[in-house]
Amino acid sequence: MDPEVTLQNIAAESAKTNAVMVELLTKQNEQVAKHGATSEALAAQIKQVGEDLVGLKAEQAATLAKLEDRVREAQEKADRVAIASQRPGWDGGEPVKSAGAAFIEQFKGDDGRRFGESLSKGNVRNSQRSEVKGGFRDAVARAFGRKSSQLLTDAATRFTPVMREAMLPWLGDRFGNASSRHEYGRAARKAIDEARSRVAAAVNAHPTEVIFTSGGSEANNLFIKGVAALMKPGLVALSAIEHPCVREPARQLIRSGWRCEEIAVDTAGRIDLQAFDRVLADRPRMVSVMLANNETGVIQDVATLAAATRKCGGWMHCDAVQALGKIPVDFRALGVHGMSLSAHKIQGPLGVGALIVDKRVELAPLVAGGGQERNLRSGTENVMAIVGFAAACDVVLAERDQRSARLAALREVLEQGLVAMGAQLFSADAPRLPNTSFFAIPGVDGETLVGRLDRAGFAVASGSACSSADPAPSHTLLSMGVDPDLARAAVRVSLGAGSVRQDVDGFLVALGESLASLRTMTAMAV
């Protein structure tokens, strides 16, 4: 082969190869340039995202800081409200005061009654009622972050942190039977003994005089039936306004040959002393008079009545369930032989109470069995409830006087508003518990009004809460000589430990609205 030709072919092939290489290199350079541009763009985007993230983090931090400031301010406000609400005469703060002023001011001055009557009859413009009611509720919600709290009956229980902390261990690891000899049983026995001492101290009694029961009803039954079982039948006398858990066991004794007689009260619900003397002349074996009435709140002079009963040789029993925590209750000073208590009336747990009984009194047990509670109340003790009862006694003793003064001031505001609406107050001139108000609006059914107020967010009662299912008028009011129709209109308001001024103001607004609605319906029906 010609070398020259071979060289030419090689040169040609080399040229082709070089061209391909140049093309490839060109494409490679183009790809590199393109890739480089893309990389730069991506880098720029990443940089921008990073900067945006930094900005968002800064905004988030600022927002969180603002939220934390708001939370802190809200907590500080709540703390101030909680502290202020414990002061006598606290009026709910400026927001509530300003919102409710338009309404509350109507109850002041010479024309207060006329405005109250106009409101209850529906003569006030709907726009005015709505504005006042809505403004008040909105102000409460803004100021306190909740609905206006409820007025409660005395039957309501709200655990305090102290009671919850005391009871909680007995829901868990501490499960021993106090009658057992093992470690867990001994711990339970110790807790009951300590609780017994604290309950005794609350009412100035000796620990051995405290018999734990399931509540006030059992305590009342234990004394009345327990005493009667070991006596020859005779006369058992009780006030005409006693709670059903005193009246009914006393009446049951009639089947065993006993006589039962009620002691009359005056129009204010106080024991008629002349009637009491006539009963004592018949030398009753047993007398029962409650310290404070569960409906009217009227306080009886039990110490004087007990001294007279002792002189004639009778046993004196006192139902002090309603009084504990609201007024001083002193077993020794009262001079009674037996006294009944209940934990849930002092914000303690449900299902536990006590009978304080003089050591000289012999009782037959209602429940036979293992011999617990000095052989007077057999059955495994409810350690958790008993411990909670003791804790409630500690709290109520520490706060009683201050709380009572504050509630008495709130009740005064409440009753001024009630009178302005045409309400008739029961036992207003008698010594009463500081938290209780019993009233009636003539011509308005009490149960119907209770239902209306319940839907408005206020828990009240018509007569005795323990027998509220009974449509009959209040036995207490009938014993006071109140007309049955008026007695059927009765409504009881019991201010609780947590009640504050805005509760009272809101209740009066709701009551006025309810009365206006009911009277409008009555007018349409006619």
Return the pLDDT at 159.
67
Residue 161 has pLDDT above 90, yes or no: no
Question: Which among 255, 370, 240 is positioned nearest to 300, based on CA atoms?
Answer: 240
- For 401, the token pair is 């006087």
Give mean pLDDT, residues 144-171: 64
Residue 172 has pLDDT above 90, yes or no: no
Return the pLDDT at 144.
39
CB 195 within 8 A of CB 387: yes
- The predicted-structure confidence for 390-433, as pLDDT tens digits, reads as follows 999 999 889 999 999 999 999 999 999 999 999 999 999 999 99
- Residue 260 annotated in active site: no
Q: What percent of the chain stands above pLDDT 70?
A: 67
Beta strand residue intervals within 365-460, DSSP E? 424-425, 436-440
Question: Residue 190 class from Cβ within 10 Å (0-12 exposed, 13-18 middle, 19+ buried)?
Answer: exposed
Judged by DSSP in three states, 348 sits in: coil
Q: How many helices (H) and strands (E) in the chain?
A: 17, 10
Give mean pLDDT, residues 449-470: 78
Beta strand residue intervals within 382-521, DSSP E? 424-425, 436-440, 490-494
Question: Which among 468, 490, 465 is positioned nearest to 479, based on CA atoms?
Answer: 490
Rg (CA), the chain: 38
Residue 109 to residues 89, 102, 303, 323: CA-CA distances in angstroms? 20, 13, 42, 35
**Average pLDDT of the chain to the nearest whole number:** 81
pTM for this model (two decimals): 0.71
Amino acid at 446: G
| CA trace torsion 278, 282, 285, 291 (10° rounding) | 0
CB 225 within 8 A of CB 349: no
Q: What are phi and psi of 151, to 5 degrees?
A: -80, 135
- For 125, the token pair is 């413009």
Residue 175 has pLDDT above 90, yes or no: no
Residue 295 has pLDDT above 80, yes or no: yes
Return the pLDDT at 171.
83
Strand (E) or helix (H) holding 237: strand 235-239
pLDDT-derived band at 444 (thresholds 50, 70, 90) equals very high
